[in-house]
Amino acid sequence: MRNNNYKFVQKEVIAQQPPPLSQAGVTGWLWKNLFSSMSNFSSISAALQSIIMIILTFVLLYFCGGQLYSLIDFALISAVWSDPEVLKRGSCTTVDQGGSLPSGWSGACWPFIFAKKKLLIYGRYPAEELWRVNLVYLTLFLGIGYTLFEGAKGRQWTGLAMLTIFPLFALILLTGANFNISWSTNLLLLGLSILFIFFGELTRRNFLGNIISELTSLFYICGVTLFLIFIAALLLSIDYGLSYVETSDWGGLLVTLVVAITGIVASLPLGIILALGRRSNMPIARTISTIFIEFWRGIPLITVLFASSVLLPLFLPDGVDFNKLLRALIGVMLFSAAYMAEVVRGGLQAMPRGQFEGASAVGLSYFQSMRLIILPQALTHVIPGIVNTFIGLFKDTTLVLIIGLFDLLGQAQSTIADAYWSSPAQAPTAYLTVGIMFFVFCFGMSRYSMFMERKLSRGHK
């Protein structure tokens, strides 16, 4: 029998060792994320790369840290927060500039922003009517918040209401309604809508032959749209006892949101129609959509705004005049529709042919297959693109200041001209405020789109 009782044979399991220092804890993390990129000196080129990395890291650390510190210092630490003696510009200027702060001081001048708060958020909207704007803001944020909230009951209906009822509600509250809409127009709208719905009903029951029944949904859409327009016209012509507020008195965040939301709401349906036109088999419809899309995409938004403010009055019959805001809105709508059309077209092109063929194989008409099969999938595919277009549009609303509308940035720019607050800190503070507001909106939108993308992905990747 062999004696297995050697001294060097391990008899019990050794306890687990802690991982090497270079791979665990803070050192490990630092090693993995910082030093591993700059510690390879095995060959000349690797060493060169490591040295470049070291230099770059230090330069960036110095630069980035310095910039961040000076931003925080400017915005928080050195900033002036209150102006109890109502000195205005005196509270934010140094001794040699005629103020009270030590020379060499530099920081944000928040009392200036507090004083201009109303202008930045409402523009020159009459002070006693501000509750109207507040109500609109409140409904907007509650509605959007509820629609976006995961698992909220009836969020589709809230979303639909935000797209249909809310714009009307906002229009009535913000302008004061009581528009002069003639009875004949109202009756015409009502008559047409009833006619369309009647036709839709007839075709649905197959009274007019099979082929026409393909147009059922079209008839219904036209009828319902006209009916909604009729209701809107009716509601807008009622006197609610609200005083009329000119759009030239709107400003700041209000104009930014009005322009952006109108563009966003209008661009999606228009864009879908254009994209379907561009993907259609009919050569003339395709050409017209393509020309439209490429024309608007080829010119800068400023040109569009210039054209809509200068050319629109020229192209309309004598006597028809839009106000400046509406002209800008029309330009922004058409412009963003063209961009949206390209995004939607991307989604349509990504659809496999089988989906189109399957839809026609089960006997769906063109409109039905688009509504039920193609568009839901295509639009889901391109949600990031759609949100990116929204973000772009939201940022581009600032351009309306060039045709003399006061959006958030335009309003900030005009407050900078206020001599009572004139100080070197004035412009940076105003831009910082506007920047933070835009950043919150845009960053929020992009994060939500990423979240949606993850939620809606069907695991194709």
Q: Which residues bind another protein (CB under 8 A)?
A: 32-34, 36-38, 45, 53, 56-57, 60-61, 64, 209, 211-212, 281-285, 288, 294-295, 297-303, 306-307, 310-311, 313-318, 391, 395-399, 401-402, 409, 413, 416, 424, 427-428, 431, 434-435, 438-439, 442-443, 446
- Which residue has 């009822």 as its token pair? 165
Q: Which residue, 162 or 399, is less far from another protein as judged by CB?
A: 399
What is the C-alpha to C-alpha distance for residues 83 and 108, in angstroms, rounded to an integer? 13
Question: Minimum Å distance from CB 451 to another protein?
Answer: 16
Question: Could you identify the residue written with the tokens 């062999």?
Answer: 2
Our CB check for another protein shows the closer of 182 and 287 to be 287
Which run of H or E residues covers position 200? helix 183-204
Residue 370 to residue 218: CA distance in whole angstroms: 12
Minimum Å distance from CB 106 to another protein? Answer: 9
DSSP tag of 371: I
- Give how far Cα 167 sits from Cα of 164, 173, 259, Å: 6, 10, 12
Nearer to another protein, 232 or 264 (CB): 264
DSSP string over 438-458: HHHHHHHHHHHHHHHHHHH--
Q: Considering the complex, state which of residue 108 and residue 245 has its C-beta at the smaller distance from another protein.
A: 108
Biggest CA-to-CA distance, the chain: 119
The least CB distance from residue 431 to another protein, in Å, is 5
* Nearest distance in Å: CB 36, another protein: 6
Q: Tell the smallest beta-carbon distance from residue 375 to another protein (Å).
A: 20
Q: What is the C-alpha separation between 99 and 97, in angstroms, rounded?
A: 6
By beta-carbon proximity to another protein, the closer residue of 341 and 399 is 399
Cβ 177 to another protein, closest distance in Å? 29
**Looking at beta carbons only, is 67 or 134 nearer to another protein?**
67
Q: What is the 8-class DSSP label of residue 86?
A: -
| Residue among 92 and 172 whose Cβ is closer to another protein | 92
Q: State whether residue 363 is helix, strand or coil.
A: coil
80 by DSSP, 3-state: which?
strand
Residue 292 CB contacts under 8 Å (≥ 6 apart), including other chains: 274, 338
Query: Rounded to the nearest whole angstrom, what is the least distance from the CB of residue 174 to another protein in the complex?
Result: 23
Residue 450 to residue 391: CA distance in whole angstroms: 13
- Nearest distance from C-beta of residue 236 to another protein, angstroms: 26
Residue closer to another protein (CB basis): 288 or 326: 288
Q: Which two tokens stand for residue 30?
A: 């630092």
